[in-house]
Amino acid sequence: MIPVFVLLYLALAGGVLALRGKPAYPAAKALAGAGFCALAGVCMLRQGGSPWPWPLPAGFVLCAAGDVAMGVYNLHRRTRALLWGIVLFAAGHLCFLTGLFRCGAPGPGALVFAAAMALVLGLLLRRGRLDMGRLAPGGLLYCFAVSLMAGQSAALALAVPRPGPLLFAAGGALFWLSDLLLLGLYFSRKKGSRVLHIANLASYYGGMLLMALSLAWPAALP
């Protein structure tokens, strides 16, 4: 059952790449989001329920909604859609973080990494390399959250090197990379390239695939 949903999801994610910049782009993102949410649900059923602490699984639904909002922004450049995308993704990361923290207390390494990434973003904004306008404060908080999610999932994987935590950590790293590329795509002084956009989408959908698959195994609380 899981391989079938993986193949379906990959086909839907490929549709997003094929429809990039076209009117159906947000709809394609909605279908891909439904795909990884369905995959996450099937993986949870393999365990007879959620093998990870709630509300971590709810993060997939929020990220799917945020991705649609970002698709609308990418197509129409509506600032409100961008704001909704940031808010929904941030809420998704809070769900992921809450679940991860229930698996283990925030590690000092994860906190240092998150603070360092927020500091780097602040320096780039200050020096004019990136321009987020009035979204800058929210962007800094979001950067801290996604970096903390990536760092905490890596710390859990190192503490409990089992399939679930390892897959989630790998997916979290790709998710973090996709957001790093997103900065260059939307907020750089230079116009983002086609290659950058494709790399952003590939890393995001690859990350969500691995994170969804992680739900097929217990979190293995340390």
The predicted-structure confidence for 98-125, as pLDDT tens digits, reads as follows 999 888 767 789 999 999 999 999 999 9
The whole-number pLDDT of residue 143 equals 93
Please provide the average confidence, as pLDDT, over all residues in the chain.
90
Percent of the chain whose predicted confidence (pLDDT) is above 70: 95
| pLDDT bucket at 177, cuts 50 / 70 / 90 | very high
The whole-number pLDDT of residue 49 equals 59
Q: Is the pLDDT of residue 9 over 60?
A: yes
* Residue 164 CB-half CA count within 13 A: 22
With helix as H, strand as E and coil as C, how does the chain read? CHHHHHHHHHHHHHHHHHCCCCCCHHHHHHHHHHHHHHHHHHHHHHCCCCCCCCCCCHHHHHHHHHHHHHHHHHHHCCHHHHHHHHHHHHHHHHHHHHHHHHHCCCCHHHHHHHHHHHHHHHHHHHCCCECCHHHHHHHHHHHHHHHHHHHHHHHHHHHCCCHHHHHHHHHHHHHHHHHHHHHHHHCECCCCCHHHHHHHHHHHHHHHHHHHHHCCCCCCCC
The whole-number pLDDT of residue 130 equals 86
Q: Is the pLDDT of residue 174 over 70?
A: yes
Q: Provide mean pLDDT across the span 132-144.
A: 88
Spatial distance between the Cα atoms of 172 and 27, rounded to a whole number of angstroms: 24
The whole-number pLDDT of residue 193 equals 77
Q: Is the pLDDT of residue 183 over 90?
A: no
The whole-number pLDDT of residue 21 equals 85
Spatial distance between the Cα atoms of 153 and 161, rounded to a whole number of angstroms: 11
The predicted-structure confidence for 12-65, as pLDDT tens digits, reads as follows 999 999 999 899 999 999 999 999 999 999 998 887 655 678 888 899 999 999
Spatial distance between the Cα atoms of 92 and 61, rounded to a whole number of angstroms: 8
Domain residue ranges in the chain: 2-214
Which of 127, 107, 167 lies closest to 119 in space, CA to CA?
A: 127
Q: Provide mean pLDDT across the span 163-190.
A: 90
Percent of the chain whose predicted confidence (pLDDT) is above 90: 62
